[in-house]
Amino acid sequence: MVINSFTNTALQNAFNEFGAGDNLAMFAGDVSNKKTGEELVKIALEKFGSVDVLINNAGIFESKPFLEVDEAYLDKFLSTNLKGTYFTTQSVIPQMLKQKGGVVINIGTPLVNHGLGGWPATAPIASKGAIHALTIQLAAEFGKQNIRVNTVAPGVIRTPMHGEKADLSAGLHLLNRVGEIDDVSEMVYTVAKSNFITGAIINVDGGKGSGHNLN
């Protein structure tokens, strides 16, 4: 497995947390730059001999009123979320074509189809909506070559991005709790192993995409 982060410190911490053994490699770089994806492919081929699964999970999410969004703010989300997914995928597809198979798993959000009044976030949601659309189109373009492309769309997950405030969002989910990292990783693993799933947007969201509690 090859892991990536924009910052060396975060990457090294993850590398050590995963055991830092021979089955793991790392590369720091900005995924919105296609050269980062190309380097990840190079490392994977040198160390492991193939590129079987790509998980595009680099992403940022913030809230800002629509009328206050300027071009620089919008570009921040388009670069990390959309360009990162787009160009990293573009880097791996040639190798997957050579192998006659591969899996791409993107990370989206159920908020693409479930708006929240009172929490303005048009910039990140627009970028994630593009990822959902990209997923379906890539699945169509490369399905005959045995390359599967899917999106896993989590609800609020207990990660450092939410800090200690994650549980305040419990009521946004029908299960009245936020998700855990394992809830998402188990689905990503399932999608990677299931040979007949492609072009799918799979919510792992405690029912967030279907509705929410009023209390």
Q: What is the DSSP letter of 113?
A: G
Q: What is the pLDDT of residues 56-66, one digit of tens each?
A: 999 999 999 99
Fold type of domain 51-204: Rossmann fold (3.40.50)
Strands 201-204 and 25-28, how do they pair?
unpaired
pLDDT band at 74 (very low <50, low <70, confident <90, very high): very high
- Residue 74 CB partners (closer than 8 Å, separation 6+): 123, 126
What pTM value is reported for the model?
0.94
Mean pLDDT calculated for residue range 177-194:
97
The residue extents of the domains of the chain are: 51-204
Distance, CA of 105 to CA of 200 (rounded, Å)? 10
CB 100 within 8 A of CB 143: no
Q: What is the pLDDT of residues 119-160, one digit of tens each?
A: 899 999 999 999 999 999 999 999 999 999 999 999 999 987
